[in-house]
Amino acid sequence: MIIFMVILMGILMVCAIAVTATKSLLNSVLVFMGFSIVMSIIWILFESPDLAITEAAVGAGVTTVLFLATLKRIKAIDLEENLIIEENDQSEIPSWAVAENNEKVEGGASDEL
């Protein structure tokens, strides 16, 4: 049991470092979900099933969903950005050229040079 515990703690540390080290926000949210699941197993081993249930439901479930909703809201998920560009048929024009021609620049890079 102690070996299992040590392995779980090791996974926990790896997850915690990976959350900060990954460059993609989506990946770090998913790794954080894994952190919560491992944490809930550790709670069971510490004989506190109440906390384990709450950790699995809130940490792995609801928090991840809220993070993903926020990422989607601030358009930090790459997949969706590509979709929008395809739909407008502007994939060949580089972004700086588009920003320069339009009158209204919405917080683009050329606005703050």
Partner 1 sequence: MSFKSWINGEEDLLLNNLKTTRREDDHVKPLLTDEEKKSENSKVLNKIYNVEDNRRLKRFDKTYRVVAIVFCVLLAAAMLFTISYLPKVGDPDTPANSSVVSERYIESGLQETGATNIVTGMILTYRAFDTFGETNVLFIATVCVMVLLMLDEKILEKLDKTSDRIYEPDYDPILTLAAKVLCPIILLFGIYIVLNGQLSPGGGFSGGAILGAAMILYNAAMGFGKTQRFFNENIYKVAKITALCMYGLIGTYFYITGANGIDNMIPLGTVGAILSGGIILPIDIAVGIEVACTMYAFYALFRRGGL
Q: CA of 108: how far to CAs of 57, 83, 104, in Å? A: 39, 19, 10
Q: Is 34 in the site for partner 1 (CB under 8 A)?
A: no
Q: Locate tokens 């998920």: which residue?
A: 77
In this structure, the chain runs to a length of 113
* 15: phi then psi, degrees, rounded to nearest 5: -60, -45
Q: Which 71-100 positions form the footprint of partner 1 (CB under 8 A)?
A: 72-73, 75, 80, 83-84
- In the DSSP assignment, the letter for residue 99 is H
Question: At closest approach, how far in Å is the CB of 5 from partner 1?
Answer: 13
Query: Please, where are the H alpha helices in 22-94?
Result: 25-45, 49-54, 63-73, 78-88
Shorter beta-carbon distance to partner 1: residue 6 or 66: 66
Site string for partner 1, 49-68 (x = CB under 8 A): xx--xx--xx--xx--xx--
Question: At closest approach, how far in Å is the CB of 46 from partner 1?
Answer: 10
Q: Which residues here bind partner 1, judged by CB under 8 A?
A: 49-50, 53-54, 57-58, 61-62, 65-66, 69-70, 72-73, 75, 80, 83-84, 103, 111, 113
